[in-house]
């Protein structure tokens, strides 16, 4: 499986393919799915470009993606999407049109409450673990842990020489990760090495603007296609 992560905290100043208008996520996700992606991760934004968990923002983006392509579409509930843990929880509770899944960074304040609330809203939970944090230990001890859809293992090491080993180590930190599927991913220079170890991977303009050939991506379709190709190269006998 390959997932496309559409834009993250990027802006149009970073790359022409970064999403700004409300129609962009659905169009970009459809292009990435045509290139091989099987799911999409989006950070819904207000009209001024700020990440938000407001129901008026969260509802339209995943819904528009699902209307274009029949793949799961999820969002992040990370700290950058709201002013504080209580406010983020309140906004999750106010969703009228929920996304298919949502990632919860387990090292952040309020993560347990958000992870417990999402299933009540009909939203699948993805446990976000980041290297260099206490997220893995907290997830291992978490009562809702076994009920998550999977684990999103974010390796913050950008060094190509060491990131692949980190991508193997992080998912092992919470033991058997409650037996859930693990999706490793890296950032910037570590994106492509982190894509190799597991049976699933992700890529997109959120993680890197540069495919392995070093030329600007220009859209999410190129990273998605490269993620599929990278997995095929790594798994080839």
pLDDT of 74-112, one tens digit each? Answer: 999 988 887 899 999 999 999 999 999 999 999 999 999
Greater confidence (48 vs 204) lies with 204
Predicted confidence (pLDDT) at residue 6 exceeds the cutoff of 80: yes
Whether the Cβ atoms of residue 4 and residue 202 lie closer than 8 Å to each other: yes
Whether the Cβ atoms of residue 183 and residue 40 lie closer than 8 Å to each other: no
Angstrom distances, CA of residue 132 to CA of 77, 107, 123, 174: 19, 10, 27, 13
What's the CA gap between 150 and 146, in Å, rounded?
Answer: 9
Whether the Cβ atoms of residue 51 and residue 44 lie closer than 8 Å to each other: yes
The pLDDT value recorded for residue 230 is: 74
Q: Kindly state the tokens that stand for 213.
A: 């050939």
Greater confidence (65 vs 1) lies with 65
Predicted confidence (pLDDT) at residue 171 exceeds the cutoff of 70: no
The pLDDT value recorded for residue 141 is: 83
The pLDDT value recorded for residue 17 is: 66
Average pLDDT estimate for 146-164:
80
Mean pLDDT check: name the lowest of 6-20, 54-68, 96-110, 132-146: 6-20
Confidence band of 177 (pLDDT split at 50, 70, 90):
low
Confidence band of 69 (pLDDT split at 50, 70, 90):
very high
Q: Which pairing describes strands 73-76 and 150-154: parallel, antiparallel, or unpaired?
A: unpaired
Mean pLDDT of the chain: 84
> What's the angle, vertex CA 188, arms to CA 24 and CA 200, rounded to 5?
75
pTM (two decimals):
0.86
What's the CA gap between 190 and 208, in Å, rounded?
Answer: 9
């Amino acid at each position: 499986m390959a997932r496309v992560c559409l834009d993250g905290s990027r802006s149009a100043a970073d790359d022409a393919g970064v999403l700004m208008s409300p129609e962009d996520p659905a169009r970009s996700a459809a292009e990435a799915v045509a290139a091989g992606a099987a799911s999409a991760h989006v950070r819904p934004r207000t009209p001024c470009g700020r990440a938000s968990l407001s129901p008026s923002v969260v509802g339209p983006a995943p819904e528009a993606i699902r209307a274009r392509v029949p793949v799961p579409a999820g969002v992040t509930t990370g700290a950058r999407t709201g002013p504080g843990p209580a406010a983020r929880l309140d906004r999750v509770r106010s969703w009228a049109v929920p996304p298919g899944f949502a990632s919860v960074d387990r090292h952040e304040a309020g993560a347990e409450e958000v992870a417990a609330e999402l299933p009540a809203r009909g939203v699948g939970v993805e446990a976000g673990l980041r290297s260099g944090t206490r997220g893995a230990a907290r997830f291992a001890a978490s009562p809702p842990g076994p009920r998550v859809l999977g684990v999103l293992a974010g390796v913050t090491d950008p060094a190509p020489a060491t990131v692949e080993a980190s991508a193997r180590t992080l998912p092992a930190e919470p033991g058997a990760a409650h037996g859930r599927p693990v999706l490793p991913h890296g950032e910037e220079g570590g994106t492509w090495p982190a894509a190799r170890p597991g049976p699933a991977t992700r890529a997109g303009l959120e993680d890197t603007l540069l495919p392995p050939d070093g030329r600007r991506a220009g859209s999410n379709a190129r990273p998605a296609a490269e993620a599929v190709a990278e997995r095929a190269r790594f798994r080839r006998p």
